Amino acid sequence: MKKLFAIFLLINFKRRKALQFLFFLLASSLLTGQQLRLNIDHANSEIRSKRVKLALEVNKGIDFNGTVKISFGADTNSLSTQTIASVLGSEDYNLKTYYFEQEDLAPNTTYVYKWYLVLMYYLINYLRYLRKG
């Protein structure tokens, strides 16, 4: 009898976990319209032999205050970080593009860049490698 009861509890536990998973899946799909999205804007980015212009799109589906930053350099251990712009919750836009420009780069050098969106409690970043040639 104890074995049957244990099997019954195990089946109910698995069913409950499956229902919880389905609930969270449904809830996350309903909230996707209210997400914050970052996209590397390749169409507005330019890579030349001695200069670069990098673009990041921020799709602001939620209101937040934050800062857009970029780290850039040839060595991943010594990237220099710059603040590009502040994002205010009061700004009224859905999609905005931010730019970073760097000149006097050495040809035939691999550069690394990371975009950051710093929020009060979260850090969203993209790491990209850039080959200059």
What's the domain range around 47?
Answer: 34-131
Q: Are residues 69 and 108 both part of a single domain?
A: yes
Q: Sort residue 80 into left (φ over 0), alpha (ψ -120 to 50) or beta.
A: beta
Residue 54 is given by DSSP the state: E
What average pLDDT does range 84-101 have in this prediction?
86
Q: How far, in Å, CA of 10 to CA of 50, rounded?
A: 64
For the chain, how many structural domains are there in total?
Answer: 2
Q: Are residues 10 and 39 both part of a single domain?
A: no
pLDDT digits (tens, 9 = 90+) for 23-81: 454 445 444 445 677 888 888 888 888 899 999 998 877 777 888 999 999 988 999 99
pLDDT of residue 104: 92
Q: How far, in Å, CA of 5 to CA of 130, rounded?
A: 60
Q: Are residues 73 and 123 both part of a single domain?
A: yes
Which of residues 1 and 50 earns the better pLDDT score? Answer: 50
pLDDT of residue 31: 44
pLDDT of residue 105: 93
